């Protein structure tokens, strides 16, 4: 080894050592704030209060299955906010959706609205400097959940502190004036709101108003004030001093025009207009928040901290007729297969809808799921996998994205209860990450959602079966013709090879 290479090696090793010591301090002082409760004098607060009184104290819900509708509801709520917006997400991307959301929050803050934005760190691609600029606004506070140190080399910090960095906040909620909220599976990125030209994520949120919003806010406060929620200005390493006006300049005329186009399109969504004019009624129902505690992410993994999964397990076991699992990432493991077997043994119909190898955005997860696929079928459950080329069948838009990916996380029990939120049926959601969602008791809403789903299934998914020889078959309806595939549909040899290779990834991390 020559001197130059030797020196370079020493520098890299030194960087690794320094990086390995770089952690974010969780002991710095920060303000303790809670949800604003004096909201009855706001328009949204008054609307929610009046609606609740007219509906015997129940909460109101409406499902948001189309991405543009889901974006439009969030933007309209932000536009009508008078006192507060609290939002909590797993990721936000530096793309059109991220820009539009940032612009909406900034406009609200300029009107005097208090913004509290809690975002998980690992997969968020918005630059720190943008968050720092926004945080300079007197009405905006941004905290990064469980951040990885920016000192040294970030990727090495992630590796050296993997045990803690591996534990993520996956929660998703958007709450305005402690009166209206949106909860579901969507993050803030183009693919979730039909703004991505390459792929469409089939997802589901619910807009909610009424008493259960107070529970959502309580859960938010618990995470916002937790030691892992670090104010962005306390750990970033940006030396240059930026001004808030800089972010306004970066919007520029071109980006502003793009923002106005997307903003107008979202607010013009037919569903949103129907809700505003009350042509579409909300579903009145009792509901409750079921959520993990943020302490789950600081403790050694054990059953005592797996609150959400344990409560859902009890609900599933109490089913009497039918359980429908919709989850993009399905890694049941031995215990999950046994749950399905226990249900079918009692005569309960079990339907599982998840991604195919062609539609998934996480091949290692599919590899782990595929290990259990035959065992799941042998329980007597009905299994569907999303058809990657069925975007047009879902949206009716022939010029839409090429790939359909399932991202909905929803579980239906006996046609009477719906759990919707951030949780997948995999070890990561159950044991490693923190999750939250709503358990809603609304037979009319569930009947409508399940009816629409069952009508779409033949044209958007394959039913996976075993033939008499024990071989897997994928049965689909394409252009009105019944089709049977005998290998992973719509996949190349290379993708199937990667799925085979990814079997080396530990199932416990998926």
Q: Which candidate, 362, 368, 391, places its Cα nearest to that of 461? A: 391
Residue 240 and residue 92 in one domain: yes
In the chain, the largest separation of any two C-alpha atoms, in whole Å, equals: 81
196 domain residue, yes or no: yes
Assess contact for 109 and 197: CB atoms under 8 A.
no
Residue 360 and residue 478 in one domain: yes
Backbone angles phi, psi at 116, to 5 degrees: -120, 120
Distance (Å) of CA 356 to CA 52, 113, 196, 319, 439: 42, 43, 20, 27, 27
13 domain residue, yes or no: no
Domain of 255, CATH number, reads: 3.30.870.10
Give kind and range of the element (H or E) at residue 8: helix 3-20
Q: What total of structural domains would you count in the chain?
A: 2
Residue 467 and residue 364 in one domain: yes
More confident residue, 242 or 486: 486
**What pTM value is reported for the model?**
0.92
Assess contact for 413 and 316: CB atoms under 8 A.
yes
Tokens of 364: 């290692």
Q: At how many degrees (to 10) do helices 67-80 and 96-110 cross?
A: 20
pLDDT at 255: 62
Domain end call among 210, 241, 276: 276
Q: Would you say residue 14 has pLDDT above 70?
A: no
193 domain residue, yes or no: yes
Domain end call among 276, 301, 334: 276
Q: Would you say residue 262 has pLDDT above 90?
A: no
What percentage of the chain reaches a pLDDT higher than 70?
91
pLDDT band of 253, cuts 50, 70, 90: low
Assess contact for 96 and 258: CB atoms under 8 A.
yes
DSSP state, residue 262: H
pLDDT at 254: 53
Tell me the Cα Rg of the chain.
Answer: 23
pLDDT at 362: 95
Q: Which candidate, 415, 423, 410, 411, places its Cα nearest to that of 445? A: 415
Within 13 A of 440's CA, how many CA atoms are on the CB side? Answer: 36
Domain containing residue 145:
57-159+166-276
Domain end call among 256, 276, 296: 276
DSSP state, residue 41: T
Q: pLDDT tens, 111-134?
A: 999 999 999 999 999 988 889 888
Residue 323 and residue 465 in one domain: yes
Residues 356, 461: Cα–Cα separation, whole Å? 9
- Catalytic positions are 170, 172, 177, 407, 409, 414
DSSP 336-354: HHHHHHHHHHTT-EEEEEE
Assess contact for 384 and 351: CB atoms under 8 A.
yes
Residues 119, 96: Cα–Cα separation, whole Å? 17
């Amino acid at each position: 080894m020559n001197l130059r290479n030797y020196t370079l090696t020493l520098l890299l090793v030194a960087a690794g050592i320094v990086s390995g010591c770089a952690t974010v301090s969780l002991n710095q002082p920060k303000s303790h704030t809670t949800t604003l409760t004096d909201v009855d004098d706001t328009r949204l607060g008054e609307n929610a209060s009046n609606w609740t009184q007219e509906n015997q104290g129940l909460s109101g819900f409406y499902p948001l299955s189309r991405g543009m509708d889901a974006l439009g509801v969030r933007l309209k709520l932000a536009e009508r906010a008078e006192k507060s917006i609290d939002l909590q997400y797993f990721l936000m991307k530096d793309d059109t959706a991220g820009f539009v959301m940032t612009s909406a929050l900034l406009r609200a803050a300029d009107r005097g609205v208090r913004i509290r934005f809690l975002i998980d760190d690992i997969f968020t691609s918005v630059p720190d400097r943008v968050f720092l600029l926004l945080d300079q606004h007197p009405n905006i506070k941004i905290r990064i959940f469980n951040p990885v140190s920016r000192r040294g080399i970030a990727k090495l910090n992630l590796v050296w502190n993997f045990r803690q960095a591996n534990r993520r906040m996956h929660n998703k909620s958007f709450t305005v004036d402690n009166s209206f909220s949106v909860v579901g599976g969507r993050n803030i990125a183009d693919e979730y709101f039909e703004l991505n030209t390459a792929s469409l994520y089939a997802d589901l949120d619910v807009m909610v108003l009424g008493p259960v919003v107070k529970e959502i806010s309580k859960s938010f406060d618990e995470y916002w004030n937790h030691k892992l929620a670090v104010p962005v200005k306390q750990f970033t390493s940006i030396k240059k001093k930026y001004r808030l006006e800089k972010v306004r300049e970066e919007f520029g005329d071109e980006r502003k025009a793009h923002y106005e186009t997307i903003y107008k399109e979202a607010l013009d969504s037919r569903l949103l207009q129907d809700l505003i004019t009350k042509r579409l009624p909300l579903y009145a129902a009792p509901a409750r928040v079921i959520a993990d505690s943020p302490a789950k992410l600081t403790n050694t993994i054990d059953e005592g901290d797996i609150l959400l999964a344990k409560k859902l397990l009890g609900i599933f076991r109490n089913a009497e007729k039918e359980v429908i699992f919709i989850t993009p990432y399905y890694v049941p493991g031995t215990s999950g297969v046994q749950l399905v077997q226990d249900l079918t043994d009692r005569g309960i119909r079990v339907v599982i809808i998840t991604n195919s190898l062609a539609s998934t955005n996480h091949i290692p997860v599919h590899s782990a799921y595929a290990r259990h696929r035959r065992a799941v079928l042998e329980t007597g459950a009905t299994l569907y996998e999303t058809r990657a080329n069925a975007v047009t069948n879902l949206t009716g838009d022939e010029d839409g994205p090429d790939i359909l990916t399932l991202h909905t996380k929803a579980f239906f029990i006996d046609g009477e209860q719906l759990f919707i939120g951030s949780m997948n049926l995999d070890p990561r959601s159950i044991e490693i990450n923190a999750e939250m969602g709503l358990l809603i008791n609304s037979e009319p809403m569930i009947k409508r959602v399940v009816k629409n789903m069952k009508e779409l299934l033949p044209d958007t998914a394959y039913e996976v079966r075993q033939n008499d020889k024990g071989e897997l078959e994928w049965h689909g309806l394409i252009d009105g013709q019944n089709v049977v595939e005998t290998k992973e549909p719509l996949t190349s040899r290379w993708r199937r090879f990667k799925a085979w290779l990814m079997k080396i990834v530990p199932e416990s991390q998926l």
